[in-house]
Amino acid sequence: MKFPVLSNQVINEEKIDKALMLINETLLDLRDEGYPELALEDFIKYHIYPNSIEIRKLQARCFYKGILNLIIDKSFVDYMLNFFPNFELYHASFIRYHHPKMTSNGYEKLDNILATPLHYDNYGQETITTWIPLTDINTDTGSLCWTTSEYLINKTGEGLSPADMHNNGGINGIDWEEYINYLRKDLEFVTCKKGQLLVFDKNLLHGSNYPLSKARVSLDIRWVRISENKFNFSLFNSKLEKFKKFGLINSYLNNDTVFLRSIPLRIYPLVHLKMKLRSINFLRFASNFLRSKF
């Protein structure tokens, strides 16, 4: 099968709107908790960018609250079975929120073309990625892009990091001006409606560009091929529930204590225990530090 494949509308607009509402409500909570002096748009502009602490908190909270359950239903899974007769949910931790005036994670926009440099989704297994736009995608929002250019494939190698592309101006062996010229002429961009799916495998060299005037919100889900066992919906639904717990664990890893305190102890006691132990360790460190000074 030749990738990428763009579907007709698989997810209905009501489900998409509920997912987007969940993201927006969570953004408001994060703004109110940490930056109440900022307008929501300014909070998104300055704090919601790739790998920021706030985007990681946003992702973790939304996955715990069940954003995958809103998006993934039988029609979604039936569509994905066209590509993998036997697969399981592997990785779903990315909510992309690109603002038209987004910062670039501290890196300069030397190219002004790619917000996410060209790379492969390769996890060492037979992997398929589903890109799910939660807004209509056009030139105003910017888009996911890909290339089959032999020049770009050869020069990009295994993929570029944001630091390679935006901060350092490329890597050794690349004529940066020539590379950017090839980007301008050899990239293909997705245009679609929210609820359509773009599906591609680990061999597609892809990235994303900057929005022009409208925010772009999307979700990435990755799948891997499993054994010859037939696909089982009950096991798959249990996997969705596990991703809720993963969201809670990621909240802990990202020090999202405000959110974690709102989760009842009975829901996930080990996370609360780790928080208590961390507090005790901090108090012990502070006590020892003060003793050493005074």
Q: Residue 97 is part of a domain; what is its CATH number?
A: 2.60.120
Q: Which of 43-52, 84-93, 196-205, 272-281 is predicted most confidently? A: 196-205
Domain shared by 58 and 80, yes or no: yes
What single string gives the DSSP state of each residue in the chain? --S-EEEEE-S-HHHHHHHHHHHHHHHHHHHHHH-TTS-HHHHHHHH-STT-HHHHHHHHHHHHTTHHHHH--HHHHHHHTTT-SSEEEEEEEEEEEE-TT---TT---SSSSEEEEEE----SS-EEEEEEESS-BSTTT--EEEE--HHHHHHHTTB--HIIIIISSS-TT--HHHHHHHHHHH-EE--B-BTEEEEEETT-EEEEE--SSS-EEEEEEEEEE--SSPP-HHHHHHHHHHHHHHHHHHHHHTT-HHHHHTS-TTT-HHHHHHHHHHHHHHHHHHHHHHHHH-
Domain shared by 148 and 69, yes or no: yes
Mean pLDDT of 256-283: 67
Q: In the chain, how many domains are there?
A: 2
Domain shared by 208 and 159, yes or no: yes
The rounded percent of the chain whose pLDDT value lies above 70 is 82
Confidence band for 294, pLDDT divided at 50, 70 and 90: very low
> By C-alpha distance, which of 138, 111, 124 is closest to 214?
138
pLDDT of residue 169: 59
Residue numbers of the domain that contains 270: 264-294
Domain shared by 138 and 183, yes or no: yes
The first and second tokens of residue 72, run together, are: 């993934």
| Strand arrangement, sheet containing 114-119 | 114-119, 205-209, 144-147, 188-189
Domain shared by 169 and 86, yes or no: yes
Domain shared by 228 and 124, yes or no: yes
What mean pLDDT is reported for the chain?
84
Domain shared by 170 and 284, yes or no: no
Q: Which residue has the higher pLDDT, 271 or 153?
A: 153
Domain shared by 179 and 276, yes or no: no
Mean pLDDT of 250-276: 74
Lowest mean pLDDT among 133-147, 149-163, 251-265: 251-265
Residues pairing with 97 in the sheet: 217
State yes or no: pLDDT of 172 exceeds 80: no
State yes or no: pLDDT of 198 exceeds 90: yes
Domain shared by 234 and 102, yes or no: yes
Domain shared by 33 and 120, yes or no: yes
pLDDT of residue 174: 81
Mean pLDDT of 50-66: 91
Domain shared by 217 and 281, yes or no: no
State yes or no: pLDDT of 269 exceeds 90: no
State yes or no: pLDDT of 267 exceeds 80: no
Domain shared by 255 and 270, yes or no: no
